[in-house]
Chain A
Amino acid sequence: MKYSGYKGKVLAINLTTKKTNTIDVTDEFARKYIGGNGFAVRYLFDMVDPRMDAFDVTNVVAMMTGPFQGINLPTAGKYYMATKSPLTNGYFDSVSGGFIGAQIKYAGYDGFLITGKADKPTYLFVEDGKVEFRSAERLWGKLTGETQEMIKEEVGDPDLCVSAIGPAGENLVRYACVITEYRAAGRGGVGAVLGSKKLKAIAVRGSGTNEVADPEAYEAWMQWYKEEAKKVPGIAVGLPTYGTPALVASIGKMLGAMGSYNHQTEFFQNWENISGERLKKEFWDKDTACPACPIACSKVFSAKSGKWKGAISEGPEYETIYSLGSMCGIDDLGAIIKGDSLCDEWGMDTVTYGVMLSFLMEAYEKGLITKENTDGVEFKFGNDDAMIAYIEKTAKREGIGNLMAEGSLRAARIIGGGSERFAIQVKGLEIPGHSARALRGMALGYSTATRGGSHHDPRPTGEYAGASDRKAVEGKAAWVIGTQQMTTIGDSLVNCHFLERLLGFTLTQKWVDMINPVTGFGYTLEELTTVAERILDLERAFNVRTGIRRKDDTLPRRFLEEPIPEGPSQGMYTDEPTLNKMLDDFYALKGWDPKTGVPTREKLVRMGLEDVADCLNKSGISC
């Protein structure tokens, strides 16, 4: 290939026929879609009928890399997964730390497309150009840690990279994740789709290398990074010292915007008990990092005393402290550490699990469900024993765990009684710990995000930092579009969004200056922005084919009607007329139809996606 950072081929792996074939990655394709997110959405749009069930044999799981995997660019030690989600029914991607992304490159590929369904539990072992379909029958039912260890032992390689699902994925828990080492491709149920394909794990070992286009310019950029990163407090001090739990004080206390008790409030009185400072002081064991990352924001924490003494986990991150902690009314960090590690081991997303549980706790306290439904357990806020016990029960779909495995939107529809109003989700995806009421951008961001309630489509960081006024309505659509473009490029490269603090919350020349030395694209900012819009329009087109329209771009009723009741952000929320105004602005700027939210043909053609417009027309959708 003309460009660097690529191996020029993607491997399609068919689990039904146990055959593989390679798909060439052309220079034009690489430049148009970059990698990761861009590659995956193009392949999935072409290969998957979005109207089919996510667990149908025809669904495809993309495991992708971008040009950054395998080199030492800070935060590039990641890999990217995408599929049609069993939780949202839409296009869904999940990015995780893990050296397996580099290994895919070293093995000679830019990514894998996993199709079909194995007849028996299987794991894949890819070693350079060779693919083995190995039996996973003795691994079926095993936790993610043990699965990885058993595969490393079987292959005889203690440094082997393995991505595995847990029992939650096997049992089609709709928010089952994929675990590599101790990090998760957490959200949206990629693990459940792998489970439906009876694929327990993917192990990759490559003996090749990856290189950059312009080593001198790259080295200069690395020096620039080292100098500039020192000046960014979040990257230089906050994340290395405390990791993301530092946000408990800034979001929970200072801003009063950390959802608590299923968002009945956003000010958690006992915030100090679950703060990053306390975690560091009393629970910290060591810093850990995703590969190639000098920031090392990840930490191993363990409970040295108390009820949950002995609990140990890499994590929890801020989102998990929110979901298992403040949302469930639990202020014991030992319990949160225990819950974090159990969710990883059983293989499910901590955010959705915690928000799902807090929803049930509110339903229980409102009398919509009773002890008869909950196997006799008191589902009251603050019940840490229930929070811990129901991780395994959800993974096994036992008792009410079977309902919890469905996610809060489906659960609300089953429970009824108006409970959908307080199911904290958008498009079926539970909202993480960044307030849709205290941050105007997140209200619009969650509403319009491809994935729904995700803080990695739009980003809250710029509003926290004051780069965009968190209360403003005017100009918010442009801001949200900008952050969504930035995350899309980040997910295509594939690197960590935490670089936003250094390179810009929206796309800037600094992003361009990082990409060109590696790839040799010679992008301008304008071309890079077009790539981002192309990818976002393709995601939207995929979702439009599943039936998503403007009516679905909204928030839980609670957020549209109930102001934050107390604390520093008291009174804040975005009502329906305000959201509608921002949506009008958003569609106008995007070039999407203001009535339907479908990308216009004119816009699609301008993005080089005429075939996508034709495809929508063929499906009976006017654009």
Chain B
Amino acid sequence: MSVVVAQEKKPLIRFDIKKCAFCKICELSCSKYHYKKFGDSISRITIIRKGPLMFKCHICTRCEKRFCITACPTKALSYKGGNIVVDPKLCNSCGDCVKACPFHGIKLHPETKLPIICDLCDGDPSCVKDCPKGALTLVWLPEVRK
């Protein structure tokens, strides 16, 4: 059973499947914000479509279990200020974090091979800002710890 031990809030980018139009503008906004280039391989959010009405949003959920941190063999990942942070000096680009994340919220950057994970764009997520349908919203939830 979970018990709230800390009242710190954690961020979540909430996805509204009913509103999402599968335009992928969020992916292009994400890559533009972080790299000043457009490309889905360097986007930290991915929208998947399966069937006419089934859409999924792949992004870091700041989950309780921190599967990625646990999976990392070199302790390159940590949770700071609401984000999973990568220490490039420790990371060996093994990709274990990518495989461990059940939310498909991590990719390896095709060139640097370092994990890329949603960092909320310094608090004002560009995917949320640019979504033309209002399908993405930034919410703050109570941090839950066992």
Interface residues of A (CB under 8 A from B): 70-72, 77, 99, 102, 106, 149, 158-159, 181-182, 206-211, 215, 285-296, 298, 300, 312-314
Contacts and interface: CB of A to CB of B under 8 A. Distances in A.
Interface string B18-43: 11011111001101100111111110
Given A181-B49, A296-B133, A211 B24 contact: no
A312 B50 CA distance: 14
Contact of B21 (A206, A210, A296): A296
B46 interface: yes
A99 B24 contact: yes
Contact of A294 (B41, B53, B110, B132): B132
Contacts of A102: 38, 40
A71 B38 contact: yes
Nearest to A300: B52
Given A77-B24, A291-B24, A285 B53 contact: yes
B46 A292 contact: no
Interface of B: 18-19, 21-25, 28-29, 31-32, 35-42, 46, 48-50, 52-53, 110, 130, 132-133
A531 B130 CA distance: 33
A294 B21 CA distance: 9
Given A211-B38, A286-B21, A72 B32 contact: yes
Contact of B46 (A159, A286, A300): A159
A284 B110 CA distance: 40
Contacts of A106: 39-41
Contact of B52 (A182, A206, A293): A182
Nearest to B110: A207
Nearest to B23: A289
Contact of A210 (B29, B38, B49): B38
Given A70-B39, A102-B40, 9 more contacts: A72-B28, A158-B48, A181-B49, A209-B35, A209-B38, A210-B39, A289-B21, A289-B23, A293-B23
Given A158-B50, A296-B132, A300-B52, A72 B38 contact: yes
A215 B25 contact: no
Contacts of B42: 209
A106 B41 CA distance: 9
A314 B49 CA distance: 13
Nearest to A128: B110
29 contacts: A71-B38, A72-B28, A72-B32, A72-B38, A102-B40, A149-B50, A181-B49, A182-B52, A209-B38, A210-B38, A211-B36, A286-B18, A286-B19, A286-B21, A286-B53, A287-B21, A288-B21, A289-B21, A289-B22, A289-B132, A292-B23, A292-B25, A292-B28, A293-B23, A294-B23, A294-B132, A296-B23, A300-B52, A312-B52
Contacts of B36: 211, 215
Nearest to B39: A209
Contacts of B25: 72, 291-292, 294
Task: Report the 6 A-B pairs with minimum CB-CB distance, sorted nearest first.
Answer: A294-B132, A209-B39, A289-B23, A207-B110, A209-B37, A72-B28
B26 to A, nearest CB: 10
B93 to A, nearest CB: 15
Contacts of A77: 23-24
A321 B23 CA distance: 24
A288 B24 contact: no
A290 B23 contact: yes
Contacts of A294: 23, 25, 132
Contact of B133 (A211, A287, A292): A287
B49 A208 contact: no
Contacts of A159: 40, 46, 48
Name the residue among A159, A210, A291, A314 with the largest chain B CB count within 10 angstroms: A159
Given A72-B29, A287-B133, A314 B52 contact: yes
B121 to A, nearest CB: 15
Contacts of B38: 70-72, 102, 209-211
Contacts of B22: 181, 288-289, 291
Contacts of B41: 106, 206-209
Nearest to B131: A294
Contacts of A206: 39, 41
A362 to B, nearest CB: 34
Contacts of B37: 209-211
A209 B40 CA distance: 8
A293 B133 CA distance: 11
Contacts of A286: 18-19, 21, 53
A215 B36 CA distance: 8
Contacts of A296: 21, 23, 132-133
A124 B38 CA distance: 25
Contacts of B29: 72
Contacts of A287: 21, 133
Nearest to A161: B40
